[in-house]
Amino acid sequence: MKRVCIIGASGKLGKYMVRHALDKGYEVVGVCREKSIKKLDEFKGRISIVSGATNDHETIKKAITGCVGVLTVLVPWGVHQYSSGTVQAVFDNAQEEARLIFSCGWHITQDGKDIYSKSFKRMLGFVSWIGKLFRLIEIKDQEKACELIFASDTKWTVVRGSDLEEGESQGLPVWSDHVGDSILKSNMTRRVDFALFMVEALENDKLNKKSPAIVGCQTHSALAHHSNRKEKNETMD
Ligand SMILES: NC(=O)c1ccc[n+]([C@@H]2O[C@H](COP(=O)([O-])OP(=O)(O)OC[C@H]3O[C@@H](n4cnc5c(N)ncnc54)[C@H](OP(=O)(O)O)[C@@H]3O)[C@@H](O)[C@H]2O)c1
């Protein structure tokens, strides 16, 4: 059985990823803080757990040794380079050919060609300011973490999530290289499907060294994009 590690397994996205990974027949190792182990009770006996901070090298080494894939929930908690420390710990300890999948939001840009609305920029500025003021989150460190990833020679994918909502799965999200593309306009993905995209990326080499921005496959913008394409193809036939 192929072994994968889920770093941040006890969070909302993490637990969905655990479910998808088990459904796909992977052996799962989850990493979470000691105090959060109980959040994984529903998976007792079906996964192994390594507890500790996700930027702690010994914790990550123990968890990802022997894993063909590592799914990392990248979160910018605190003011001590938690995100970039987590990425570095993964890079320093992952086996050479492992698929490394990271989660983040649309605000991360790989090539600077994303186009953000004014309201998105305002919201990001506000969240960054509040997060810094109360020393809760450090968006700049999540950006630094992603710069480390983009510069890496490993088999990485950075999955950039839109706004998220709870609800039943609608299927695998659709994606585009750049925020601002019409297919993404609806800016909404079910969290369960974000997790599905992360797990599916483990076996999708076309996503290697890419940072797909995703949106729900049943959203208005995704459906409109597909019907426009279909119409175009029919006109050309
Ligand atoms: N929320 C959104 O609207 C949104 C939108 C787009 C993209 N994303 C991306 O989606 C991913 C998951 O985000 P989410 O909002 O759904 O959160 P989430 O899955 O609940 O994950 C939060 C993670 O942070 C950990 N955590 C919480 N407080 C912490 C602390 N003080 N120190 C260290 N770790 C702490 C949690 O662990 P415990 O279980 O131990 O608490 C959990 O693993 C992230 O990569 C995020 O950038 C989110």
- Tell me which H or E stretch contains 161: strand 155-161
* Phi/psi-derived region of residue 203, left when phi > 0, alpha when psi is between -120 and 50, beta in every other case: alpha
> For the segment 36-85, what is each residue's pLDDT rounded down to a tens digit?
999 999 999 999 999 999 999 999 999 999 999 999 999 988 888 999 99
- Share of the chain residues as helix, strand and coil, in percent rounded to the nearest 5: 45, 20, 35
Q: pLDDT at position 92, please?
A: 97
**11: Cβ below 6 Å to ligand 1?**
yes
Per-residue pLDDT tens digits of the chain, which is 237 residues long: 899 999 999 999 999 999 999 999 999 999 999 999 999 999 999 999 999 999 999 999 999 999 999 999 999 888 889 999 999 999 999 999 999 999 999 999 999 999 999 999 999 999 999 988 888 889 999 999 999 999 999 999 999 999 999 999 999 999 999 999 999 999 999 999 999 999 999 999 999 999 999 999 999 999 999 888 888 787 776
Q: Whose CA is nearest to atom 32 of ligand 1?
A: 77
The structure's pTM equals 0.96
Query: Rounded distance, CA 120 to CA 153, Å?
Result: 31
CATH code of 46's domain: 3.40.50.720
Total number of domains in the chain: 1
Provide the residue range defining the domain that includes 173: 3-236
Q: Whose CA is nearest to atom 9 of ligand 1?
A: 104
**Ligand 1 centroid to 75 CA: how many Å?**
5
